[in-house]
Structure 1
């Protein structure tokens, strides 16, 4: 018990030199001044170009997407075409809109993206990565929500290389007994 009183008195001397609470009092009941809470980590600066857009690069598999985000009506343009035309599969459109759903910003930002390389699935992942990065640059307060979902991390999984003596990366050639 004496160790607890000693540590409480040490703690009290560290925080504004307040007297330690008596043996019967709880630390909350003491009349010691409460130190203000430490502010959270400083927010990052908003990164916007002269046209009021935030830019980011997204990558997935072999696809690289350059993404610009600006306030608007929710229109998403990929390589000069509407998202419904470029990404015909509904699942790919769902992938692209995930960052907006997590941050409750659906229909509030226009997106312009140019994508090169890879297939449609990799390109959709690259656009999603780019949108998440650009959103966190436009509104730094959204960074923690987007990061918690893992959208800021580049998905580094790629196709395994083909090995010699194999049909593909791991598949063997068909075996013939005779």
Structure 2
């Protein structure tokens, strides 16, 4: 499911990434401490929180999700297996799923709200005005600072930033553009 929002570019999202890091008092370089940021979520964004839920509560292909709560903020639900994999094993993909949901909240708070209630199937909207694409792109920029990672090899990106292979692949692809 996806929603239409205000258009933006990858370069603009890259410029926003340091602000998200700064909001959570995270260094502008190095690995993004996803779980530490998750713990600070309610301190930075009023009425926003997270819950670890049984895996069966969310659809099979949904690792985490973010929704507006009754307090006027957002709640992130994270599958227990995802949280445990991120916390105990540092699995890059699981850290990325959680960071992606944090990026949704940040983008919403700075004005990238759905333009109207109608949802679309994934890949039906142009990327630049897709809520899902914007959160994914911002997440990648936050987790792998672009300028710092220039010229790095795949393994270096994996080791330094604790991201998934897919995120590292996508980052290297951007360097070739």
TM-score bracket relative to the smaller structure: under 0.3
Higher Cα Rg: structure 1 or 2?
A: 1
Q: Which has the higher contact order (CA 8 A, sep 6+)?
A: 2
Higher-helix-fraction structure: 2
**TM-score by structure 1 length?**
0.27
**TM-score by structure 2 length?**
0.27
